[in-house]
């Protein structure tokens, strides 16, 4: 009996292959976008883990500076006091584009030695200590480090070179400074932790992972949004399949099938579909991730300096998670129908009004839940803190608005229908309202996709406008020049003095700032800074105070992360200085500070000025570049003009948002499929409502046109509601999420053309989804419409 | 055709292609209906009664013969032309009422009259009172009984004062008492508007209340 009943249930899909295709497609698309994002995150996290465990991971503790930077003298002092510490220097060599890790192999704890690296006594050790040998991942051994032979070490992450600490200091341009002291985590501490230092236990989160968490959370949020949109398709299709099969359920119950067995059979059927669609979705997700990963890798490199391989590996974690999400998604989407199959009495199952009443109750509950979610979002906005609170606000806003949408649309359509001219126009609006229950899930999906498009579009647009203006201010100099040595730098300055309006040395040191790797600059007193520097907050006479050594400027992210305000002291080597200005510094994850050149040189006498910003008339740039190259025999990378730097910065910016843009478009595509799925499955159910109108003298062509217009109007009404929701979303992204994730806040700007674009997209989505069902109606044979009257008998 | 005939059908033929082959539903049916006359079309299930009604209404195309409606040959009309005939000249009443579920009773009642631009509020009100549905105008079809729904359908068919009423088993879904009441109302109003009535019915009793009766058997007029 079980098999007979199951085959009776499954026969529905044979008779309605389109429903089957849409159900599997919806679930596969939902799973694909989710899995794609998870695959990207898994790849990136694996790269961070590799980076984090280069020097032993959990087996190694780190002593780090809490105030002044650590130096080799600190190392020597601790060793003399019996601490089994080993110095390490870390940083990024901007010229080579590599992360440099310098270690002392003679003192390195055994647990910190990467597998394959020669220990004390090995033949290669002498070359390593002499700075002639280094190690890199097999992908990075091709990078040219002058005078150094790189050997492959599979345990190293891509983009990192492991060298002796002496060579590391040389590559990073530091002298006595070190980043941390490593110790075996099982070794007892010989005494209390020295003043000015903190102990970080092995396995503690590395800065890189912490920095990029917000980016991955962003991706996950988008992946989840796409998944939710996809689940709407499955819910719509599964719901229709349940409604279509009401007579079958009734018959099966009537011939003696228990409600429990019937529910189990439906569950088995859904599970089989979920597994098929899940497998398809995981495969599609792999393709999506493969297509997006190069952009993600570029973004992570550009934003955080994190090296992630551009190619994808198949990892069991996200494959299984994808299949699991497909099954869970199907359970959520089909749960309501299943509950009804299980709990409604046999005769009740066949009475449409019982189902309709149950659905009406659900709609009211849904609208109430939506309002509650909106209230929770508002409350979280007022009292919540942190990135997760930001995402909770976003989730509450989106889901709340989606749940309230059917109620709002129904009220709107009823109000329009009341005011419409009686006759065909009134029928058009009244029927649109009657069609709502069948389309509500698809329209909710469309609302989410459109709002996400407005929100992210407005955020990116605001960011682009601010970033472009900021670049103009920040990159005020016409030409930037890199010298190879101090000697060359001095000769260049002499040569340039009579040829340009000003030579502005760019002097900097890389130091820990507010507990993170950062940079400190020294600037000369010049109108270029006074007139152009993008200050967000400043005390009166900020530039005079700066050059009198009475204050320091910090970038916005440093100020926000550490809660620094004007007047607060900032701990720097050589003593605290009050913050007298905060400037915007978009696209930079690191904290940064600026001192007047005299104060800077007093604190960092070892810093070398090898970089210069040159002021000269724009028309003289090309000629001067050529003269400089010829005179000093400079390589092309030694000179950058303003336009090139701006173009590069904008390119990094565009790539940063390429992934969210792609996910946005994919989400909208999924919503279009949801709408198409609902319209196609509804087209058969709507015939009894349309046939009388046709019989009363409205042509099939006109009916098809009205059906098309109705779907487009519903999409546009949804877009009207998506607009304020999207703008709210943008505000939360700019004022809450970005501030938490990146450390900067951008002014929100609304772009009317983007909003026109939104309506265009809604129109296109509605039109694309409605076109085929309308054509089908137009082409339908009159006998199909007549059957409505015949089947009444 | 005769000058007084609202409807004239000559040698009408219609066949359908089915999996078992071609099935001839109507084989050379001829009949005429004069202005103000009522005609009952009776016959067994499958005799072609409803098909004939659908062809007269222009809901389907015939294969042979001709139908003239107020002297206009239906075979020469396009889809839009046939829709216009239905809209302007015919009132249709179906067994299952086929009201528009998204419109209230008032809007349903006036729907076709508004479509063809002949909405007369006084006449519609008079119809509603005559059909005893004046108190139901704000309700939706789902909230009405079968008899009430059929009275709305009859009102809708008469609201534009068409020349021809086509009714397909209009009381087939009602009990005997309700059927008699609905029938009496319909015949009274048809007479009042001087419309002609072509009604498909199984019921000998109801057929007897009309002016004439034509019996169809296996697609042919047999009596």
Q: Is B116 on the interface with A (CB under 8 A)?
A: yes
Contact B98 A695 (CB under 8 A): yes
Q: Enumerate the residues of chain A whose CB falls inside 8 A of the CB of residue B119.
A: 422-423
How far apart are alpha carbons A200 and A185 in whole angstroms?
10
**Cβ contacts of residue A205 below 8 Å, gap of 6+?**
none
A357 pLDDT tier (thresholds 50, 70, 90): low
Q: Enumerate the residues of chain A whose CB falls inside 8 A of the CB of residue B110.
A: 422-423
**Cβ contacts of residue A544 below 8 Å, gap of 6+?**
none
**Cβ contacts of residue A37 below 8 Å, gap of 6+?**
A219, A220, A222, A223, A226, A289, A663
Q: Is B94 on the interface with A (CB under 8 A)?
A: yes
Give the residue, B25 or A304, on which the prediction is more confident: B25
Contact B79 A786 (CB under 8 A): no
Q: Summarize the confidence of residues A609-614 as an average pLDDT.
A: 84
3-state helix vs strand vs coil in chain B, percent to 5: 40, 30, 35
Q: Is the pLDDT of residue A207 over 70?
A: no
Among B96, B101, B115, the residue with its CB nearest the CB of A792 is B96
Q: Is the pLDDT of residue B99 over 90?
A: no
Residue A717, min C-alpha distance to chain B (Å)? 19
Q: Summarize the confidence of residues A406-420 as an average pLDDT.
A: 89
Q: What is the pLDDT of residue A352?
A: 47
Q: What is the pLDDT of residue A404?
A: 92
Q: Is the pLDDT of residue A371 over 90?
A: yes
Q: What is the DSSP letter of A199?
A: E
Tell me the pLDDT of chain A averaged across its residues. 80
Q: Is the pLDDT of residue A733 over 70?
A: yes
The percentage of residues in chain A with a pLDDT greater than 70, rounded to a whole number, is: 86
A308 pLDDT tier (thresholds 50, 70, 90): low
Residue A418, min C-alpha distance to chain B (Å)? 10
Q: What is the pLDDT of residue A50?
A: 66
The answer to whether the beta carbons of residues A308 and A300 sit under 8 Å apart is: yes
Closest residue in A to B96 (Cα) is A792
Tally the C-alpha atoms within 13 A of residue B122's C-alpha that lie toward its C-beta.
Answer: 0
How far apart are alpha carbons B128 and B109 in whole angstroms?
8
Phi-psi region of A549 (alpha: psi -120 to 50; beta: other; left: phi over 0): left
Residue A11, min C-alpha distance to chain B (Å)? 21
How far apart are alpha carbons A410 and A437 in whole angstroms?
9
Chain B 127-166, residues with CB within 8 Å of chain A CB atoms: 156
Alpha-carbon torsion, ordered A685, A688, A693, A697, to 10 deg: 110
Q: Enumerate the residues of chain A whose CB falls inside 8 A of the CB of residue B111.
A: 423, 427, 696
A67 pLDDT tier (thresholds 50, 70, 90): low
Q: What is the DSSP letter of A791?
A: T
Q: Is the pLDDT of residue A663 over 80?
A: no
Q: Summarize the confidence of residues B55-65 as an average pLDDT.
A: 91
Q: Is the pLDDT of residue A56 over 60?
A: no
Contact B115 A422 (CB under 8 A): no
Q: Which of B24, B29, B35 is nearest to B9 (CA)?
A: B29
The percentage of residues in chain A with a pLDDT greater than 90, rounded to a whole number, is: 13
Contact A697 B102 (CB under 8 A): no
Chain A interface residues (partner B, CB cutoff 8 A): 422-424, 426-427, 430-431, 433-434, 688-689, 691-701, 782-783, 785-786, 788-790, 792-793
Residue A361, min C-alpha distance to chain B (Å)? 18
Bridge partners of B164, per DSSP, are B90, B196
A122 pLDDT tier (thresholds 50, 70, 90): low
A-B contacts (CB, under 8 Å)? 96
How far apart are alpha carbons A101 and A98 in whole angstroms?
10
Q: Is the pLDDT of residue A309 over 70?
A: no
Q: What is the pLDDT of residue A311?
A: 66
Q: Is B44 on the interface with A (CB under 8 A)?
A: no
Q: What is the pLDDT of residue A206?
A: 45
Q: What is the pLDDT of residue A201?
A: 64
Contact B98 A789 (CB under 8 A): yes
Q: Which of B153, B211, B218, B185 is nearest to B34 (CA)?
A: B211
The answer to whether the beta carbons of residues A219 and A41 sit under 8 Å apart is: yes
Q: Enumerate the residues of chain A whose CB falls inside 8 A of the CB of residue B86.
A: 695-697
Q: What is the pLDDT of residue A689?
A: 81
Chain-centre distance of CA B12, in angstroms? 18
Tokens of A279: 């497998």
Given the DSSP bridges, would you call strands A592-596 and A575-583 parallel, antiparallel or unpaired?
A: unpaired
Q: Is the pLDDT of residue A281 over 80?
A: yes
The answer to whether the beta carbons of residues B104 and B126 sit under 8 Å apart is: no
Give the residue, A211 or A244, on which the prediction is more confident: A244
Among A688, A699, A790, the residue with its CB nearest the CB of B79 is A699
Among B84, B88, B107, the residue with its CB nearest the CB of A422 is B107
Q: What is the pLDDT of residues B166-185, one digit of tens each?
A: 999 888 877 788 788 888 88
How far apart are alpha carbons A125 and A117 in whole angstroms?
9
Give the residue, A422 or A238, on which the prediction is more confident: A422
Q: Is the pLDDT of residue A213 over 90?
A: no
Helix (H, G, I), strand (E, B) or coil at B35: coil
User: A329 vs A264, A618, B109, CA distance in Å?
Assistant: 17, 59, 46
**Alpha helices, DSSP H only, in A173-258?**
207-244, 246-254
Q: Is B68 on the interface with A (CB under 8 A)?
A: no
Q: What is the pLDDT of residue A483?
A: 81
Q: What is the pLDDT of residue A724?
A: 92
Q: Is the pLDDT of residue B214 over 90?
A: yes
Q: What is the pLDDT of residue A239?
A: 74
Closest residue in A to B118 (Cα) is A423
Give the residue, A347 or A478, on which the prediction is more confident: A478
Structural domain boundaries in chain B: 34-61+78-214
Q: Is the pLDDT of residue A349 over 50?
A: no
Q: Is the alpha carbon torsion for A183, A186, A190, A195 positive or negative?
A: positive
Q: Is the pLDDT of residue A699 over 50?
A: yes
A793 pLDDT tier (thresholds 50, 70, 90): very low
Q: Is the pLDDT of residue A184 over 90?
A: no
Q: Is B67 on the interface with A (CB under 8 A)?
A: no
Q: Is the pLDDT of residue B201 over 60?
A: yes
Contact B86 A692 (CB under 8 A): no
Q: Is the pLDDT of residue A11 over 70?
A: yes
Contact B54 A692 (CB under 8 A): no
Among B59, B119, B172, the residue with its CB nearest the CB of A695 is B59
Q: Enumerate the residues of chain B whose CB falls inside 8 A of the CB of residue A430.
A: 100, 102-103, 107
Contact B98 A785 (CB under 8 A): no
Q: What is the pLDDT of residue B1?
A: 44
- CA angle A450-A452-A458, nearest 5°? 100
Residue B184, min C-alpha distance to chain A (Å)? 23
Bridge partners of B196, per DSSP, are B164
Q: Is the pLDDT of residue A278 over 80?
A: yes
Q: Enumerate the residues of chain A whose CB falls inside 8 A of the CB of residue B47.
A: none
Closest residue in B to A786 (Cα) is B59
Q: At what angle do helices A424-474 and B105-115 cross, to 10 degrees?
A: 90
> B34-61+78-214 — its CATH code?
3.40.50.300
Q: What is the pLDDT of residue A204?
A: 42
The answer to whether the beta carbons of residues A133 and A149 sit under 8 Å apart is: yes
* Range from A480-494, A631-645, A667-681 that averages highest in pLDDT: A480-494
Q: What is the DSSP letter of A618?
A: G
Q: What is the pLDDT of residue A606?
A: 79
Closest residue in B to A688 (Cα) is B98
The answer to whether the beta carbons of residues A6 and A268 sit under 8 Å apart is: yes
């Amino acid at each position: 009996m079980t098999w007979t009943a199951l085959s009776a249930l499954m026969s529905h899909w044979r008779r309605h292959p389109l429903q089957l295709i849409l159900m599997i497609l919806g679930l596969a698309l939902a799973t694909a976008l989710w899995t794609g994002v998870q695959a990207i995150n898994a790849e990136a996290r694996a790269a961070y883990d590799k980076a984090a465990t280069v020097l032993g991971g959990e087996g190694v503790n780190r002593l780090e500076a809490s105030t002044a930077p650590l130096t080799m003298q600190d190392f020597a002092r601790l060793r003399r006091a019996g601490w089994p510490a080993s110095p390490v220097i870390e940083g990024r060599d901007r010229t080579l584009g590599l992360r440099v890790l310098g270690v002392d192999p003679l003192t390195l704890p055994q647990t910190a030695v990467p597998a394959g690296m020669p220990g004390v006594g090995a033949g290669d050790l002498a070359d390593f200590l002499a700075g002639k040998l280094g190690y890199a991942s097999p992908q990075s051994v091709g990078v040219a480090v002058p005078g150094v032979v790189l050997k492959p070490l599979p345990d190293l992450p891509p983009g990192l070179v492991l060298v002796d600490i002496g060579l590391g200091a040389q590559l990073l341009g530091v002298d006595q400074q070190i980043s941390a002291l490593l110790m075996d985590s099982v070794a007892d501490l010989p005494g209390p932790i020295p003043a000015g230092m903190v102990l970080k236990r092995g396995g503690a989160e590395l800065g890189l992972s912490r920095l990029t968490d917000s980016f991955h959370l962003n991706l996950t949020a988008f992946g989840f949004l796409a998944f939710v949109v996809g689940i709407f398709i499955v819910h719509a299709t599964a719901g229709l399949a349940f409604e279509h099969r009401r007579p079958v359920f009734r018959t099966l119950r009537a011939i003696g099938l228990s409600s429990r067995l019937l529910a189990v059979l439906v569950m088995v059927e859904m599970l089989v579909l979920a597994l098929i669609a899940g497998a398809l979705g995981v495969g599609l997700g792999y393709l999506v991730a493969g297509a997006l990963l190069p952009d993600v890798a570029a973004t992570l490199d550009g934003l955080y300096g994190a090296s992630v391989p551009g190619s994808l590996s198949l990892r069991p974690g996200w494959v299984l998670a994808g299949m699991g999400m497909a099954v869970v998604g199907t359970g959520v989407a089909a749960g309501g129908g299943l509950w009804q199959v299980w709990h409604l009495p046999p005769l009740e199952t066949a009475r449409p009004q019982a189902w309709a009443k149950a659905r009406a109750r659900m709609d009211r509950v849904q609208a109430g839940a939506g309002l509650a979610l909106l209230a929770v979002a508002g409350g979280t906005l007022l009292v919540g803190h942190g990135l997760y609170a930001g995402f909770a606000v976003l989730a509450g806003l989106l889901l709340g608005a989606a749940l309230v949408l059917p109620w709002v649309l129904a009220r709107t359509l009823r109000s329009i229908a009341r005011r419409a001219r009686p006759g065909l126009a009134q029928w058009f609006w009244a029927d649109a309202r009657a069609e709502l229950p069948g389309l509500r899930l698809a329209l909710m999906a469309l609302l989410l996709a459109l709002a996400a498009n407005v929100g992210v579009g407005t955020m990116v647009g605001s960011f682009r406008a601010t970033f472009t203006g900021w670049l103009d201010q920040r990159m005020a100099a016409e030409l930037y020049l890199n010298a190879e040595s101090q000697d060359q730098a001095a000769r260049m300055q002499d040569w340039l003095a009579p040829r340009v309006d000003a030579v502005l040395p760019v002097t900097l040191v890389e130091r820990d700032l507010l507990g993170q790797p950062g940079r400190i600059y020294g600037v000369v007193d010049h109108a270029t800074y006074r007139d152009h520097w993008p200050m967000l907050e400043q005390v009166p006479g900020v530039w005079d105070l700066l050059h009198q050594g009475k204050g320091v400027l910090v970038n916005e992210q440093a100020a926000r992360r550490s809660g620094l305000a004007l007047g607060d002291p900032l701990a720097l080597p050589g003593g605290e200085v009050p913050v007298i200005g905060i400037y915007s510094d978009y696209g930079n994850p690191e904290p940064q500070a600026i001192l007047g050149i005299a104060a800077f040189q007093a604190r960092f006498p070892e810093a070398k000025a090898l970089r210069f910003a040159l002021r000269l008339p724009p028309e003289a740039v090309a000629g001067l570049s050529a003269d400089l190259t010829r005179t000093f025999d400079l390589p092309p990378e030694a000179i950058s003009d303003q336009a090139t730097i701006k173009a590069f910065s904008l390119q990094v910016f565009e790539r940063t948002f390429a992934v969210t843009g792609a996910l946005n478009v994919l989400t909208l595509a999924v919503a279009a499929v949801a709408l198409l799925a609902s319209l196609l499955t509804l087209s058969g159910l709507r015939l009894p409502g349309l046939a009388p109108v046709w019989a009363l003298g409205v042509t099939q062509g006109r009916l098809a046109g009205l059906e098309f217009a109705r779907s487009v109007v519903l999409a546009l009404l949804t877009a009207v509601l998506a607009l304020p929701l999207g703008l709210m979303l943008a505000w939360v992204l700019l004022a809450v999420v970005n501030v938490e994730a990146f450390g900067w806040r951008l002014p929100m700007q609304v772009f009317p053309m983007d909003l026109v674009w939104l309506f265009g997209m809604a129109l296109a989505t509605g039109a694309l989804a409605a076109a085929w069902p309308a054509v089908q109606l137009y082409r339908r044979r009159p006998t199909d419409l007549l059957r409505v009257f015949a089947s009444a008998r | 055709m005769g000058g007084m005939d609202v409807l004239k059908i000559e040698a009408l033929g219609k066949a359908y292609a089915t999996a078992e082959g071609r099935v001839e539903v109507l084989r050379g049916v001829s009949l005429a209906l004069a202005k103000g006359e009522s005609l009952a079309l009776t016959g067994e299930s499958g005799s072609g009664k409803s098909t004939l009604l659908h062809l007269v209404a222009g809901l389907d195309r015939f294969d042979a013969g001709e139908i003239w409606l107020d002297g206009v040959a239906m075979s020469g009309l396009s889809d839009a032309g046939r829709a216009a005939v239905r809209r302007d000249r015919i009132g249709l009443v179906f067994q299952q009422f086929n009201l528009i579920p998204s419109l209230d009773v008032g809007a349903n009642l006036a729907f076709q009259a508004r479509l063809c631009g002949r909405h007369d509020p006084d006449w519609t009100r008079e119809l509603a009172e005559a059909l005893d549905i004046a108190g139901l105008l704000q309700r939706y079809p789902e909230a009405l009984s079968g008899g009430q729904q059929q009275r709305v359908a009859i009102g809708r068919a008469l609201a534009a004062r068409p020349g021809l009423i086509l009714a397909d088993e209009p009381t087939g879904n009602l009990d005997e008492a309700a059927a008699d009441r609905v029938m009496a109302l319909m015949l009274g109003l048809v007479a009042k508007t001087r419309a002609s009535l072509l009604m498909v019915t199984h019921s000998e009793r109801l057929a007897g209340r009309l002016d004439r009766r034509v019996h169809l058997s296996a697609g042919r007029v047999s009596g």
